[in-house]
Amino acid sequence: MYRVVALALPDVVAFDLAIPAQVFGHEDERERYSFRVCAGEPGLVPTTSGYSILAPDGLDALLSADTVVVPGYAPLNDPPAEVCDALRQAAVNGSRMVSVCTGAFALAAAGLLDGKRATTHWKNAERLRTLYPGVAVDADVLYIDHGSVSTSAGVAAGIDLCLHLVRKDYGTEAANSIARRMLVAPHREGGQAQFIERAIAAPLTRFADTCAWARQNLAAPLTVEDMAAHAGWASGSFTRKFTAEAGMTPLRWLNDQRIAEACRLLETTDLPVQAVAFRTGLGTTANFRLHFARKFNTTPSTYRRLYQGRNRQAAPA
């Protein structure tokens, strides 16, 4: 079990604090994570939403945490010296240090982001860059994971980072089950831009049947034309409508499903890499490795060594 402690600084952003609480502190996760909220001193902590929350623990809770999460807060003043000391000590103890949104300012004040790329909400990025010139601020990504220190952009990007951490801890199936419970996208790449022109929606309405059919037939040499025919649309019209609803082309969506299924098979079965490539419709082993490297910057075999066994009871071969 991983011990996760969220540090609530005055005035904490309630939504930012609710993210790790929902991901790590939900009753469904109690066999995987323990979750606590601490503050500079135990007691009520004001939020930016007009109400206070109770933090039952003080800073000592940080010293035994496996993961420390600092949600956003305002105004963006440096935390008290004892808070920065506790954050530094937690890092020295080996805690994974994580910030959501403007929580990055607290990590920066403690010196934990010096010499590292970090992100925060795009509205506050320039201020972070000015206050802490030793931090390489990148406002064009959703989250950045250095392993020991991770930062996320504003608001919902904190969900993406927390699910990413669950994926590292327990594998894809565990993260996906939380995403289903929270009704959010199971995975967004950390390098995705913070600001997009329009919302990205999953293709689960007009083309839900076709998407389900495609997922069940990934081993077949499916094409966009095959998907359009199943949906009863001309190929060009199908592509336009699908892209408008899903936020991506049907070809990219299909490839993402193949990669996702490949991850599941690598995690939960002992199938040879060649068999995984065949079952997911990714063709030859070489083609599979190429697609996998583009997506994860690693090989299927390395991925299997990292994650196999974490979800063995979740799916059959």
Task: Spell out a b/e string for 144-163, using b for 16 or more CB atoms within 10 Å of the CB, else e.
Answer: bbeeebbbbbbbbbbbbbbb
Task: Report cis status (omega within 30 of 0) of the bond before 11.
Answer: yes
Active site residue 101: yes
Sign for the CA dihedral angle at 258, 263, 268, 270 comes to positive
Question: What are the b/e assignments for 208-246, b being 16+ CB within 10 Å?
Answer: eebbeebeeebeeebebebbbebbebeeeebbebbbebb
Q: Using CA atoms, how far apart are residues 258 and 188, in angstroms rounded to an integer?
A: 16
Residue of 38, 101, 162, 211 marked catalytic: 101
Could you give the residue numbers annotated as active site? 101
